[in-house]
């Protein structure tokens, strides 16, 4: 596996967790413990991305209730949730790949959830 050191790879686990959180704000109950586990395994500290993801969960809950569910707060949550990776030394390409993977997971889960709740005409 030594050839993989030259490849730029996104943070797969954070992208999946953040995509799940952005697709449905009620998933924060199990996403936040998984983020703690993600931080402990990869960074040996529970406080690398957890405060940022916690803020995103609070923002989505508050904004969806007071403003209505919208794209603006989710795009802000995406950038804000991935921000500590960029400041932690991740390359810009890997950071962008993480954001693109998060967007794909978010889109896929949102579309699946939409199809469940659509009533026939």
Question: In sequence order, what DSSP letters do the residues of 49-114 get, joined into one string?
Answer: SHHHHHHHHHHHHHHHHHT-S-HHHHHHHHHHHHHHHHHTT--HHHHHHHHHHHHHHHHHHHHHHH
Q: What is the pLDDT of residues 33-64, one digit of tens each?
A: 999 999 999 999 989 999 999 999 999 999 88
Structure tokens at 3: 């050839």
* 38: CB partners within 8 A, 6+ apart: 13, 14, 17, 49
Q: Is residue 1 part of a domain?
A: no
Q: How far is it, in rounded angstroms, from Cα 14 to Cα 3?
A: 23
Q: Is residue 2 part of a domain?
A: no
Please determine, for residue 23, whether its predicted confidence score (pLDDT) is greater than 80: yes
Q: Is residue 121 part of a domain?
A: no
Note down the domain range covering 26. Answer: 12-113
* 94: CB partners within 8 A, 6+ apart: 8, 9, 10, 11, 85
Q: Is residue 43 part of a domain?
A: yes
Q: How far is it, in rounded angstroms, from Cα 11 to Cα 6?
A: 15
Q: Is residue 108 part of a domain?
A: yes
Domain count, the chain: 1
Q: What is the pLDDT of residues 65-119, one digit of tens each?
A: 888 778 889 999 999 999 999 998 889 999 999 999 999 999 999 888 776 555 5
Q: Note the pLDDT of residue 20.
A: 95
């Amino acid at each position: 596996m030594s050839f993989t050191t030259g490849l730029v790879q996104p943070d797969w686990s954070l992208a999946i967790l953040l995509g799940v959180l952005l697709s449905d704000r009620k998933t924060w109950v199990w996403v936040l413990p998984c983020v703690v586990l993600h931080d402990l395994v990869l960074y040996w500290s529970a406080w690398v991305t957890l405060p940022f993801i916690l803020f995103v969960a609070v923002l989505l809950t508050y904004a969806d209730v007071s403003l209505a569910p919208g794209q603006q707060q989710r795009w802000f949550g995406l950038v804000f949730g991935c921000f500590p990776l960029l400041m932690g030394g991740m390359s810009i390409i890997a950071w962008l790949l993480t954001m693109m993977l998060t967007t794909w997971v978010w889109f896929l889960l949102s579309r699946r959830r939409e199809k469940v709740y659509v009533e026939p005409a």
